């Protein structure tokens, strides 16, 4: 949802924080370095110094993200889940334009309602989300200074503690220290707040609302008349095409329309790697149903979506469902019905959780607003009920970029016993490289046999051929890439027509007849 109450959820820490699950501990810095080193994720326009909030996916990151997207499309659109009544449900796909008529965003409520409170620092010209700032100071608001830091930023809080000791002569042991959200301070206290990057108080402005939509101009005339917006969610393209889909696809309520695509938000403080960026991808379903059945479908989608993330390899103790508090609800959420988030324990939120997907009951807010603003009828005639109505909508809205980050975090497995010290334990379904083929050495017919095997396998899957450096280094590279199996052609292959299969997770090495390799792999990648 629109990221309110992020402070309470505690997921705004810098990505230096370590992840501690029952099985592993690692620093986000190590994951970010691996992602760069192995071609998963690069900073956008890096050679020009980057651009805050924008990221590029490298060759392996692109494959990984596409695999997650394709798995979602397969499991939600092509072979959608079985509904609560035991019957298969129906979902169709869509790919709508990123730029739509600007009236769309007035109707959807984004022009008026898609705001975050922001605070500027007059001294450093930095800009912060007001609801991401905490202040540290004495319990009594008296005359003392208060020191601001970004929620979850341990280094920032340490700095505040140090400054309190230095300037306010308050020792770290003093009991009356309080951390509280900046937005809870009375307005008069703001002049005593020292900004996160300043030494003197009074540089922070009062919070003011900031619209998150990116504005652009359509056509040659750059005037307000030609202003338009990059979509902040893929959902609206679905509502706009509701009639088109009903008229052309012979679908009957209840049914869903799904879309995967880019969304853009001018986030005040993009943070935590690709978790909160300004350009990202969403995978959204708008599920249209009769009002009387909306509660059942809401429960169904909450359960289905949680299970889906678990089926993608996120362990159940790293995933939780959380109901939104009343003050977090988006402008479209139906009163009294609420929204659940599927949350994942990211390294920078641990031991708390951060949002991966929102499942919202949007009521008939969007269809009724578009009907009002466009003056076009969007009602549905339900033949079996003999009733004309605006369907209610349950919306499972997942972040593809965030999902990719969660799967990267889950896969990152430190292992001191390996040459690489770490391997990426991707499920084969999402692994960017499914298998690698190596000739042990570059002579004695081995490259020819390995090359032939590679040619065969790559017709069906993303396969890597590597003949450079020692076999140990090649295994290490594949461990970091998260490649589940390596096939090595060695000097025995010529005689026994078999290769060695090395398993990424168990490190077992077994012999397999070369003419069995394709079927063996197909079995495991089913
Ligand atoms: N149509 C509803 C909607 O857009 P949302 O909760 O604002 O709801 C849905 O966004 C999902 O999109 C989130 O759960 C998150 O995974 C992803 N998302 C939202 N803002 C994001 C950002 N700035 N960077 C990366 N992912 C984001």
Write the pLDDT tens digit of every residue in 66-90.
999 999 999 999 999 999 999 999 9
What is the best residue among 286, 355, 366, 408 to mutate for testing ligand 1's pocket, by most ligand atoms within 8 Å of CB? 355
Number of neighbouring beta carbons within 10 Å of residue 244 = 11
Distance 358 CA to ligand 1 centre (A): 8
CA max distance for the chain: 86
Beta bridge partners of 388: 381
Measured in Å, residue 399 CA sits from the centre of ligand 1 at 6
Q: Whose CA is nearest to atom 17 of ligand 1?
A: 399
Read out DSSP for 26-81?
A: EEHHHHHHHHHHTTSEEETTGGGT--TT-EEE-HHHHHHHHHHHHHHHIIIIISPP
* Res 255: pLDDT: 98
Q: How far apart are CA 513 and CA 507, in angstroms?
A: 19
Q: What is the mean pLDDT of residues 220-224?
A: 88
Residue nearest to atom 23 of ligand 1 (CA): 276
Q: What does 243-290 look like in DSSP terms, one character per residue? A: HHHHHHH---SSEEEEEEEEEE---SS-BTTTTB-SEEEEEEEEEEE-
Which of 69, 108, 346, 358 to mutate for ligand 1's pocket (most ligand atoms within 8 Å of CB)? 358
pLDDT band at 13 (very low <50, low <70, confident <90, very high): very low
Residue 202 · residue 102 · CB < 8 Å = no
- Ligand 1: residues whose CB is within 6 Å? 1-2, 233, 235, 265, 267, 276-277, 280, 282, 284, 355-358, 395, 397, 399, 401-402
Give the DSSP letter string of 338-380.
-EEEEEE--TTTTTS-EEEEEEEEEETHHHHHHHHHH-----E
Apex 466 CA angle, 465 and 467, nearest 5: 125
Q: State the distance from the centre of ligand 1 to the C-alpha of 54, rounded, in angstroms.
A: 15
Token digits of residue 361: 């009951």
Q: Which amino acid residue places its CA nearest to atom 8 of ligand 1?
A: 1
Q: How far is the CA of 316 from the centre of ligand 1 (A)?
A: 22
Q: Which residues contact 502 (CB under 8 A, 6 or more apart)?
A: 475, 485, 486, 487, 488, 508, 509
Ligand 1 atom with the smallest distance to the CA of 276 is: 24
Residue the block writes with tokens 């708390």: 352
pLDDT tens profile 330-353: 767 666 567 899 999 999 999 999
170 pLDDT tier (thresholds 50, 70, 90): low
Contact call for residues 126 and 114 (beta carbons, < 8 A): no
Contact between 431 and 475 under an 8 Å Cβ cutoff? The reply is: no
Q: Is the model's pLDDT at 259 over the cut of 80?
A: yes
Task: Reply yes or no on whether the pLDDT at 19 is more than 50.
Answer: no
Q: CA 262 to CA 65: how far, in whole Å?
A: 13
Q: Which atom of ligand 1 is least distant from the CA of 360? A: 2
CA-to-CA dists, residue 339 to 212, 225, 239, 335, 420, angstroms: 21, 36, 19, 10, 42
């Amino acid at each position: 949802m629109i990221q309110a109450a992020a402070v309470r959820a505690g997921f705004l820490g810098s990505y230096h924080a370590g992840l501690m699950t029952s099985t592993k501990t690692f620093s986000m810095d190590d994951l970010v370095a691996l992602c760069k080193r192995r071609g998963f994720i690069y900073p956008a326009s890096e050679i020009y110094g980057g651009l805050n909030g924008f990221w590029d996916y490298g060759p392996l990151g692109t494959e990984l993200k596409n695999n997650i997207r394709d798995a979602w499309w397969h499991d939600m659109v092509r072979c959608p889940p079985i509904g609560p009544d035991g019957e298969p449900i129906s979902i169709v796909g869509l790919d709508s334009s990123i730029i739509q008529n600007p009236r769309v965003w007035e109707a959807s409520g984004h022009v008026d309602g898609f705001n975050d409170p922001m605070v500027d620092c007059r001294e450093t010209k930095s800009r912060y989300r007001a609801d991401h700032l905490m202040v540290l100071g004495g319990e009594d608001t008296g005359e003392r200074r208060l020191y601001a830091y970004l929620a979850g930023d341990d280094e920032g809080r340490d700095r505040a503690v140090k400054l309190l000791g230095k300037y306010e002569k308050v020792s770290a042991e003093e009991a009356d220290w309080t951390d509280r959200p900046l937005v809870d301070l009375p307005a008069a206290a703001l002049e005593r707040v020292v900004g996160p990057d300043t030494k003197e108080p009074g540089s922070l402005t009062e919070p003011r609302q900031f619209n998150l939509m990116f504005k652009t101009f359509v056509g040659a005339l750059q005037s307000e008349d030609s202003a338009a917006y990059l979509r902040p969610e893929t959902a609206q393209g679905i509502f706009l095409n509701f009639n088109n889909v009903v008229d052309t696809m012979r679908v009957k309520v209840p049914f869903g329309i799904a879309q995967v695509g880019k969304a853009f938000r001018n986030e005040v403080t993009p943070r935590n790697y690709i978790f909160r960026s300004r350009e990202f991808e969403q995978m959204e379903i708008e599920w249209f149903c009769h009002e009387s059945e909306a509660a059942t479908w809401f429960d169904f989608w909450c359960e289905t979506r949680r299970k889906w993330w678990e089926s993608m390899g996120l362990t159940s103790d790293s995933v939780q469902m959380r109901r939104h508090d009343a003050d977090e609800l988006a402008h479209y959420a139906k009163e009294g019905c609420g929204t659940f988030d599927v949350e994942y324990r990211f390294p920078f939120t641990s031991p708390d959780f951060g949002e991966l997907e929102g499942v919202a009951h949007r009521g008939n807010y969007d269809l009724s607003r578009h009907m009002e603003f466009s003056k076009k009828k969007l009602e549905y005639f339900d033949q079996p009920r003999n009733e004309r109505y605006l369907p209610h909508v349950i919306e499972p809205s997942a972040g593809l970029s965030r999902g990719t980050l969660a799967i990267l975090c889950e896969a990152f497995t430190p292992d001191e016993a390996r040459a690489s010290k770490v391997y990426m334990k991707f499920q084969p379904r999402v692994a960017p490289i499914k298998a690698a083929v190596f000739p042990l050495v570059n002579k004695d017919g081995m490259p020819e046999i390995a090359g032939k095997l590679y040619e065969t396998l790559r017709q069906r899957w993303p396969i890597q051929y590597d003949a450079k450096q020692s076999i140990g280094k090649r295994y290490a590279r594949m461990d970091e890439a998260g490649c589940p199996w390596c096939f090595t052609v060695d000097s025995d292959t010529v005689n026994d027509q078999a290769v060695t299969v090395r398993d990424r997770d168990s490190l077992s090495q077994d012999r397999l007849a070369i003419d069995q390799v394709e079927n063996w792999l197909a079995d495991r990648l089913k």
